[in-house]
Amino acid sequence: MTIERLPAIRSTLQPSNHPYLTGAWTPQYEEVNAYDLEVIEGAIPEDLDGIYLRNTENQIHQPLGRYHPFDGDGMIHQIDFRRGKAHYRNRFVRSRCFQAEQEAGGSLWGGLQDKPSLSRRPGFGAHGSLKDSASTDIIVHAGQAIATFYQCGEGYVMDPETLEQLGPAPWVPIDGISAHPKVDDRTGELLFFNYSKHAPYMHYGVVDAEGRLKNYSPVPLPGPRLPHDMAFSENWAILNDFPVFWDEGLLEHNIHAVRLHDLPSRFALVNRNDPSDIRWFDAAPTYVLHWLNAWEEGDEVVLDGYFQNNPTPDPLPHDGGLGAMMAHIDENSFRPTLHRWRFNLRTGETREQSLGDQLVEFGMINQRYLAQPYRYAYSTTTKPGWFLFNGFVKHDLETGESTTITLPEGRYASEAPFAPRVGAEDEDDGYLVSFVIDENQGTSECIIIDCKRFADGPICRIALPHKISSGTHSHWVEREVLERDKAARRERLMAAAA
C-alpha cells in the first residue's frame, strides 16, 4: 500500500468520555490517498467495477454545548475497485460552515440538543440554527457526487473519483435540500424535497440529467414537519407527513422538542408529469427514516420501508444525561420493521402489511430495480443501545425468507449498497460492500459479501490505511454509469464553450 498524506486539519476537540466521540465514533482527521490496498483475506473479485462512497461524522472543534453525533463534520470516504485492485481516499466536505470554523479556530454553531441562542452565527436548514455539515447522505447524479444534510442544506458537489471539491450545487433553492434525494437512472433525473418552518413547509423538486432545475413545487403541509426520506415510482414521487414532529407550543418559544401527535401518517403522491396533481393517503401513525423501493401495480402504488413501532421511545439509562438522545438513535428502542404500504389511486384507500418482525433499517436494493417490482432487500442490524451496525440481513420478499450475518463483537459495519457484478444476469448477482471498524484491533477495513452466497459472510477483507469514524449513509456507482454520465457532462461543456 502506498499512502499520500495531506496537510492536517486543525482541531480543538478535547478528550472526553462522550459515547459518540469515542470508540467507533472517535473523530478522524487524517486525509489521505492510498493506492493498491492490501488484501487481508480472500481476493477482490475481478468483476467488481465501480466506486463505494461513505459519509461519516467527525467533530473537529470542541462543541459549544451538548454534542449529538449528527452534529459532526461530514467526511467522504471512497474506495475504487477496478480489475481486482482497490484504491482509497477520504476528504472532509469543505462546506461554508467547515471553512468558517477553520478560520475561526473553533465551533460557531450549537447542535441538535442545544438552544438555538447558543449558536454564534445564523444557522442553516429547517431548524435554523444548525451547522450545514453535509454529513448525512452521499449520492451520485450526472457524474457528480452530492453530499447532503438531513435538516436541509446546500448540497455540496464533489468529483466521485478524485473527491475534488466543486462547491454548493447551483440549482439548490434557498430552503436547501434534505438528505436522500433520489436518482432515476431511467430518466437521468434527480428528485429532491425540502422542509422548513414557514409555509408551505415542504417543496418537491426535479433536476434534469444536465444538472438544471426543472421543477420546484410546493407540497403544502398543516405546519412544520420532519420528513427524512422520499421514494418514487415510474409516475409518482412519494413524500410524507408523519405525526412525529416539533411540539407546536414549544416551537413558538424556539424550543425544538419532538413528540408523537394524535394524528395519522399521511403520504403525498406527487404526479411526476404534473406536480400540481398531489394525492393524499392516510395510514397508521408511525415514523419512517428510510424507504426501500416503490413501484406501480394496476391502480396501486406500492411502497416498502421501515415502520417504527415505537417512534418516540423512553430515554435509556445514562449517567451523562444523554439517555433521550441515545434512545432516539437506537433501533432497538424505536423498533423499525420492514413494512409495505399500498395506495389505491382509484379508491383513495391505503392497505398496509408487516413484512417481518426482525428489527432492521438502513436498507439497500439493486439500484437497477428502483421504481420496479423487486425481490431482494439488504438491511442492517444494530448493537442494542447504540447506533452501530453489527450485521446484515438479506430479505427474499418473494418467499418471506431471510438470511442474517452477524459480525463478531467489537466489529461495526457501514451501510452497505448493492454492487452489481459486471455482466450480472439477475437481481442478486453482485456484492455488498461495506467499511468495518474493528475496535478490538483499532483498525478499519473494507469487506465484500457475495450476495449469491450471502450466508458465507465476507469473501474478501481489505485493509484501510487508518481507522475511520462511524456515520450514516453510503452509495455505490457502477463504473459504466459513471463514465457514461461524465462523458455526457464533458460533451455539454464543450458544446457550451464552442
CA distance 100 to 193: 27
According to the annotation, is 339 in a ligand binding site?
no
Rounded CA gap, 177 and 168, in Å? 11
Expressed in angstroms, the distance from the first to the final Cα of the chain is 43
Rounded Cα–Cα distance for residues 15 and 22 (Å):
9
Report CA dihedral (7, 11, 17, 18) to the nearest 10 degrees: -100
DSSP assignment of 56-105, as one string?
A: EEE--S--SS---GGGSEEEEEEEEEETTEEEEEEEE---HHHHHHHHHT
CB atoms within 10 A of CB 199: 12
| Residue of 361, 393, 400 lying closest to 457 (CA atoms) | 393
Q: How far apart are CA 139 and CA 230, in angstroms?
A: 14
How many C-beta neighbours within 10 Å does residue 496 have? 7
User: H/E element holding 259?
Assistant: strand 258-260
Which residues pair with residue 189 across a beta bridge? Answer: 184
Angle 188-373-355 from CA coordinates, rounded to 5°: 125
Locate cell 391505503: which residue?
A: 350
> Is the C-alpha dihedral spanning 25, 29, 34, 40 positive or negative?
negative
- Was 203 annotated as part of a binding site? no
18 annotated as ligand-binding: no
From CA 464, how far away is CA 443, in angstroms rounded? 8
Helix/strand/coil percent split, the chain, to 5: 10, 40, 50
Is 318 one of the annotated binding-site residues?
A: no
In terms of phi and psi (left: phi > 0; alpha: psi -120 to 50; beta: otherwise), the region of 154 is alpha
Binding site as annotated, residues for Fe cation: 180, 228, 290, 473
Binding site as annotated, residues: 180, 228, 290, 473
